[in-house]
A and B are shown apart, each in its own frame.
Chain A
Amino acid sequence: MPSSAVIFAKRSLSLSKIQFAMGIVIASAGIVLFNAGNHLTLNGHALVNGQLALLSVSLMAEGILLSSIPLILLYVYDKNNGVLEYLLSLGWNQYDIFKRYLEAALFLALTIFIYELAANVAVNVVIGTSVTLILSLVVSAVTAALGFSVVSFVTVAMVDFSSLLKQRVGGNSPLAYTLGAPIIALTFLLAFIFPFFTGVLIELLIAGVVGALSIVLLILSSRLIRREKMLP
């Protein structure tokens, strides 16, 4: 991870820690839900194992999304106090600037994901079975796919869609979050509709579509983002 990503991530946490902390809380809820589901049994059968696993994926992905919100706030803050304007004057273009914020958002998301992965593996190794460890890795992989694709989309949307706003407003972070949160909300429903593996496939499909959309927006960013939208 480039050092600038770490610097921007640290800066964002200096501004606001609450979303990151809430991300940890919600991710922890997902971890507890997943592992409880794998260890509670009824008449010798795991209790609604697949549904809880799918719900835990949604919770852990939501945790990852929340953890990246400070970075979006930092972007708005930097725009309003002239930091982005100064970076443009140093010869950075829109893409250079945007890339730093995206890398930092993914760095924050990675931090939460590592916590989720380590916690799930630790719980399963200590009190679980080899079956639940494999399931744990599957759940973590789906969480990563969904979480990182939504974080990328929200971060790209933060910059690109602010260019579509008629009036320059500082609060384009709610706009970005408004676009990202329903994607996670949709995955919550899957747990109640589909069996585990179908749900997993649909979640991977959503992650793929969102990821592809993010890449397209990223490629178009230098056209979509007008420089004047980065000025205070």
Chain B
Amino acid sequence: MHALELNNVTSGYNGQAVLHDISFKLKEPSIYVVLGPNGAGKTTLFRTIAGILEPFSGKVLFDDQNITTSDKTRKKISYLSQFNAMPEEMTVYNALKFYSDIEGGSPDKAIDLLDLGQLKNKRFSDLSQGQKKRAAIAKVFLCERDLYLLDEPTANLDPAVSKEIRDIILKLSKDKMILYSSHNLYEATDIGTYLILIKNGSVTLVDKISNIKPKQYRVGIKTSTDISTMVDAHREGEYFVLNVSSPEEAGLALKKLVENGVLVTEMRQLDNPLQELFETPNVNVEKTQKETQQVAK
């Protein structure tokens, strides 16, 4: 069983701290979505865990080894940055070979995994954005690692390619630890098991996504009947919108509508459950830092 632990890590650039005194411990193979607005410090967090940036203070431990001092431990970690980081003048195969000569592993295996067979002899610079991203992702799978740090791997990709990539990552997460950054709430709930919320350089929450309950649910009900007289709902576009405090309350409202002979064609939660967290300026940090120690066991 692998473990990633950050102990009071402060890190940044040119002496300016971007991450402030971050601590958390992750213990199980899973997908941990690192969520935060632009500029929150997600990339800096990844660069620090990957050993690219040395923390100003504190320690990053993987399997109890300090990644700053242990080269062996660094080799257990793979990092995909937001940049393609591929020699663009090379063919896809040669670019992967360039890296496999440095870190080991098999370009053919990575090409198969990302289904790049038809692209392998094309110059990287001639590929479309989506193809480039897939080829760039392939390089992190040249060698088998224990911890994958994926910084917005589906940014700027079309939905089909994004789904393909998420499926690969989901498959991988069965026995690997994956930190996956995003500022897309729907992607976060779709792929993640755990959430690491980061704001202004501080981790404000680490928890299972399934544990995160909003204070209020906005439920959309699609029907041809005017239901505003039966339940406390108002019309917003094609939906009647009902504000409730729990899913059970929404269930009771549905029951009432059905009993009144209303034909409901669709009922769905309109807001993402993470929306509230994302918009709240400060979650209780002290509390969540303590919770962090309990999480992911």
Contacts and interface: CB of A to CB of B under 8 A. Distances in A.
Interface in B65-105: 71, 74-75, 77-79, 81-90, 98-99, 101-103
Contact of B87 (A11, A88, A228, A232): A11
Chain A residues touching B, range? 20 to 34
Contact of B90 (A11, A90, A231): A11
In which size bucket is the chain B interface? 20 to 34
Contacts of B47: 85, 231
B81 A11 contact: no
A92 B79 CA distance: 13
Contact of B53 (A4, A91, A228, A232): A228
Contact of B86 (A83, A85, A91, A232): A83
A15 B54 CA distance: 32
Nearest to B143: A90
A228 B90 contact: no
A11 B101 CA distance: 15
Given A91-B71, A228-B53, A86 B79 contact: yes
Nearest to B83: A82
Contacts of A48: none
A87 B52 CA distance: 9
B53 A227 contact: yes
A14 B89 contact: yes
Interface in A180-232: 226-228, 231-232
A81 interface: yes
A87 B102 contact: yes
Contact of B81 (A86, A226, A227): A86
Contacts of A91: 51, 71, 74-75
Contacts of B54: 227
A15 B123 CA distance: 13
A138 interface: no
A195 B50 CA distance: 58
B53 A89 contact: no
A78 B99 CA distance: 13
Contacts of B52: 85, 88-89, 227, 231
A82 B140 CA distance: 14
Contacts of A81: 83-86, 88
A87 B86 CA distance: 11
Given A228-B14, A228-B53, A231-B47, A90 B103 contact: yes
A4 to B, nearest CB: 8
A81 B86 CA distance: 7
Interface of A: 4, 7, 11, 14-15, 78, 81-83, 85-92, 226-228, 231-232
Closest A-B pairs by Cβ, 5 of them: A82-B83, A82-B85, A86-B85, A14-B89, A89-B79
22 contacts: A7-B101, A11-B87, A11-B90, A14-B89, A82-B81, A82-B82, A82-B84, A85-B47, A85-B52, A85-B81, A86-B79, A86-B99, A86-B139, A89-B50, A89-B51, A89-B77, A90-B99, A90-B103, A91-B51, A226-B14, A227-B54, A231-B47
